[in-house]
Structure 1
């Protein structure tokens, strides 16, 4: 082989496995020229919202991998509040340098190459090229090393963040082509996503805007088009993020995957995706859906609260994709708890019944879940809901808490939040029906500061509770 080397004073000298011996070079050409630079465009609101969701998943001390462009730059910017991040990536970019200068990326928690940012090549500004020049904190290695999934997996909490052109409702994604029209090669994302999946505490995250072509095309589609390259298979992806939220796909069946992805699609394409999923037998034929603003998930109502006993809870409205969560919750309840909540001996929770809880018109009713988060899993500890009576401008309220978490303040937190939301909607108060021997629920209502009218009939109290 003939090896010709160019000597260029503008080329950074980078540490790591990036040197060759002079005896291996046949010819040397001295020619100074400016390096090509890459300036990413400013991040738009969609990219910033995606970045915000990614930041929820990236833990302190994680080792990250990202690509380049306005979306990865927005993601990196969203990580400015994190601590002790590490980098093992293919591409070194301006965003990584910014986080290193701010002390966010320290590489101190990495399992391998501790204290070093590891990459294979760099695309960025002249400032970035100057930063990596003879910088002992930077190591470049050949692609066959940086992209080796088994090397990647040696980093604990390895978090791979990559983008795609399209993803279908089963969880297959392409970053290469739309149908037979090629956009790029496969790149290294499959290596990093698989390496992250093998890593202890690792995460594979796929990010993409919900639409393309100025909002005219959905990037979430029923199935990838014929001829499309499947860059990432159903088993490669744990999380999918659009500007409308996070879908966790790992371990889910096709129906659960489809509903999770429809929930984060652009609202104007959700009805279409739902119908296509029904035609393909991916979801139930009777799957309900509330179109328009009335059925859009009110993310701004998500909040964190702590009970008097120290239990940290995420309170959030129910989502159309929460049917499996609620099924698990209801089947965890004792027969007695079910009876007190529904005043019925019926204990089964089929799809038809669960839909009444997850497919709601948020302008007429509200269902709030009290959630304990265990890693990527959400565990429902309690459910509170109210349905508005437009004639009286009040709402019927009901609560239920898992047996093993009763008498720990969860019901009080739920009821306080439901009261807060009801007051914001201009409601005057709540109504409720409670068994006369359901003393904990009667006590809870009594300490909330409501003006209460009670009527006992056939062992059931009919309550009218006016807000003060």
Structure 2
């Protein structure tokens, strides 16, 4: 249901009330960004605190114009409050730059740079401008002065915190359409904060505070309906450069398809065994989430092989939590997606017939569906069940008929006139207790399906190009099932003007809130956003909200995924650690943890079980050390030994298993498409391997010794060297680099 429609229902919202056409005039349109900046300064003055959404929702043309104006005029004070500022990949070394340049030119063609991030990288932001983010693009500002401007906040508190910081201009990218002379805007990729900002900003204006809501139209932004579609008076000013002849909107930033490693696939597979048919799913971004989607598809589309893998891995025997928490069958009832980030994987699940459990904005309807008293197919039984549960009266009223039409039980053509029903130019008494009337209603009034159902609620989206294409090409019917909405609606259970806590609880049955962590300590605490020295890697975002929410819902589980180990400072380290000096999710909220070696069920367990369950899914190269630390602290019995079935947690075991199934075209690094050419894949793999091998002095010496004896490049390697600019090296450094790369490409 659109926010526009809320005013016509029993749901009353502040946004719908204050945005009515009687009280607000349509937004003023500008075709020139600089003229809009002039006007903004006239309205709010020269002290500007700009709130901009995460990721692709930023109005780049307007933000760049405002930034350049402040950069040229020191009398303007500009503070930009935002999150996840996206930037095109830039190599740190000459070799990386040579590799990335053709790729970036191809994949990011038409995508503009955001000026302030370019100046941040060069240290050229003037003193009158500050950029503050509450979520970094992962790892983008390590060892950077920008660490000082990070604001730690939960995603659901972002509007509150930005208002506390004095935000007086809110801006975002929107889509636009005009139907029968009525123009509406879609919040597109970022309904997350705007739906909550709008009523507050209007109230501030009514109280005489100079603030402004600014939209920038981009025809490439998918037009999302439902809650994301807003009236043309929600914004005060709109930058629509399409009003200028010959203008072409810039391309949206698209994240290339990430490769899925064997370890990631195993993590995704284990996670898929915990998903309940008929349940709710939240997933994040990146290869771990793509791996989960892949295994969910495998479970549904090739269930025989899926169960074969389960049996071979002895998942049910080693990790019994999957038997009562998850399923291993196909998705007959289907899933409902409730995720702050709507990734392309949800569209894949929808197209495969997995994301199909519809939820409704009516608590009675949702409750009856959950109890299987009704289905989404409308019959006379649907009508009588609603009567039985006092949703309507036996002697139907005008309000009852309006309600039945809104939820799809009655056709839109049915009218209530002078106490009687009218349909297909016939009239009948509106009495459900009358047999003749009920038969007439069954024949002429009933609809086919419940209407207004959504299979997905999301707060923002970002993904690859084909994801945006899929959204743009969706039919109207499909679009209505994807509802972009407020982050406070998705991430929290508290009452919200879009839906009550009771409604959210009814919708989110059997929820599996799946998140990723960098590290987990043996007491079950998760580290996801920062290091123990205080350096921020990304941000808390919505992770805490979803974990807390999972503990509030009776049949929900929080699932934390992580790779068992990683290379840090040139050394292999376990990501399951005895302790760590920073925590994102505290131990009292521990639940399920997954690595490539299995599942640890921690919720409600005593510490000795928590410690040993996590040790069981650690890499075997670190298990004994972790066990000794746990015993030394008195958390595990001195005579405890790791069961033999958990003692072969090695990369070699993963590779052996993985290769067996890739030979059957199961798994694979790019199951959802690849943004790289064959040459780039070969080079990228070699460069990544070479970087890891030369991370330590000893490793560098070893690689150099191999490189010295490597043969000259043959006809298969020469094109690769040319692609990366090393076919004709001149300097000693380039010649050595060439030899190192040749050796790596030859598999030395």
For the aligned pair, the TM-score class normalised by the smaller chain equals 0.5 to 0.7
Report the Cα offset of residue 236 of structure 1: 2.1
Determine the structure 2 residue equivalent to 1:410: none
1:285-296 equivalence runs, <5 A: 285-289=638-642, 295-296=647-648
In the alignment of these two chains, the number of paired residues is: 296
**3-state SS of paired residue (1:89):** strand
Tell me, in whole angstroms, the C-alpha distance in 2 between the residues paired with 1:108 and 1:29. 36
Tell me, in whole angstroms, the C-alpha distance in 1 between the residues paired with 2:597 and 2:459. 33
Q: Larger relative contact order (C-alpha < 8 A, sep ≥ 6)?
A: 2
Does structure 1 retain, via aligned residues, the 8 Å contact 2:214–2:236? yes
**3-state SS of paired residue (1:36):** coil
Determine the structure 2 residue equivalent to 1:194: 548
1:205-244 equivalence runs, <5 A: 205-213=559-567, 216-224=572-580, 226=581, 228=582, 230-244=583-597
Does structure 1 retain, via aligned residues, the 8 Å contact 2:454–2:480? no
Determine the structure 1 residue equivalent to 2:355: 105
Tell me, in whole angstroms, the C-alpha distance in 2 between the residues paired with 1:294 and 1:223. 22
Determine the structure 2 residue equivalent to 1:71: 288
Determine the structure 2 residue equivalent to 1:140: 484
Determine the structure 2 residue equivalent to 1:252: 605
1:292-303 equivalence runs, <5 A: 295-296=647-648
**3-state SS of paired residue (2:263):** helix
Determine the structure 2 residue equivalent to 1:9: 219
Does structure 2 retain, via aligned residues, the 8 Å contact 1:149–1:192? no
Q: Which of 507, 512, 525 is matched with 1:159 structurally?
A: 512
1:35-434 equivalence runs, <5 A: 35-80=252-297, 81=300, 82-83=330-331, 84-108=334-358, 111=366, 114-133=453-472, 135-150=479-494, 151=501, 153-154=505-506, 155-180=508-533, 181-213=535-567, 216-224=572-580, 226=581, 228=582, 230-289=583-642, 295-296=647-648
Give the structure with the larger helix fraction.
2
Does structure 1 retain, via aligned residues, the 8 Å contact 2:512–2:559? yes
Structure 1's 47 and 89: CA in aligned 2 closer, same or farther, altered over 3 A? same
Does structure 1 retain, via aligned residues, the 8 Å contact 2:358–2:453? yes
Does structure 2 retain, via aligned residues, the 8 Å contact 1:39–1:124? yes
Report the Cα offset of residue 235 of structure 1: 2.9
Q: Which runs of 5+ in 2 are unaligned?
A: 1-210, 242-248, 301-329, 361-365, 368-451, 495-500, 655-748
Does structure 1 retain, via aligned residues, the 8 Å contact 2:516–2:561? yes
Determine the structure 2 residue equivalent to 1:327: none
Tell me, in whole angstroms, the C-alpha distance in 2 between the residues paired with 1:246 and 1:294. 11
Determine the structure 2 residue equivalent to 1:324: none
Tell me, in whole angstroms, the C-alpha distance in 2 between the residues paired with 1:147 and 1:288. 41
Report the Cα offset of residue 294 of structure 1: 9.5
Determine the structure 1 residue equivalent to 2:179: none
Structure 1's 130 and 49: CA in aligned 2 closer, same or farther, altered over 3 A? same
Report the Cα offset of residue 20 of structure 1: 3.6
Tell me, in whole angstroms, the C-alpha distance in 2 between the residues paired with 1:212 and 1:143. 32
Structure 1's 51 and 14: CA in aligned 2 closer, same or farther, altered over 3 A? same
Report the Cα offset of residue 77 of structure 1: 1.1
Tell me, in whole angstroms, the C-alpha distance in 2 between the residues paired with 1:96 and 1:290. 38
Task: Summarize deviations over 1:158-211 as a string: whole Å, max 9, x none.
Answer: 110001011111101111112122211101112112222222321111111101
Tell me, in whole angstroms, the C-alpha distance in 2 between the residues paired with 1:12 and 1:194. 32
**3-state SS of paired residue (1:47):** helix
Tell me, in whole angstroms, the C-alpha distance in 2 between the residues paired with 1:290 and 1:59. 29
Q: Which runs of 5+ in 1 are unaligned?
A: 301-468
Task: Summarize deviations over 1:366-398 as a string: whole Å, max 9, x none.
Answer: xxxxxxxxxxxxxxxxxxxxxxxxxxxxxxxxx
Report the Cα offset of residue 290 of structure 1: 7.8
Report the Cα offset of residue 68 of structure 1: 0.5
Tell me, in whole angstroms, the C-alpha distance in 2 between the residues paired with 1:156 and 1:262. 31
| TM-score where L is the length of structure 1 | 0.59
Report the Cα offset of residue 102 of structure 1: 1.1
**3-state SS of paired residue (1:213):** strand
Task: Summarize deviations over 1:348-380 as a string: whole Å, max 9, x none.
Answer: xxxxxxxxxxxxxxxxxxxxxxxxxxxxxxxxx
Tell me, in whole angstroms, the C-alpha distance in 2 between the residues paired with 1:187 and 1:40. 22
**3-state SS of paired residue (2:587):** coil
Does structure 1 retain, via aligned residues, the 8 Å contact 2:454–2:483? no
Does structure 1 retain, via aligned residues, the 8 Å contact 2:520–2:527? yes
Tell me, in whole angstroms, the C-alpha distance in 1 between the residues paired with 2:283 and 2:505. 15
Report the Cα offset of residue 22 of structure 1: 2.2
Tell me, in whole angstroms, the C-alpha distance in 2 between the residues paired with 1:13 and 1:294. 50
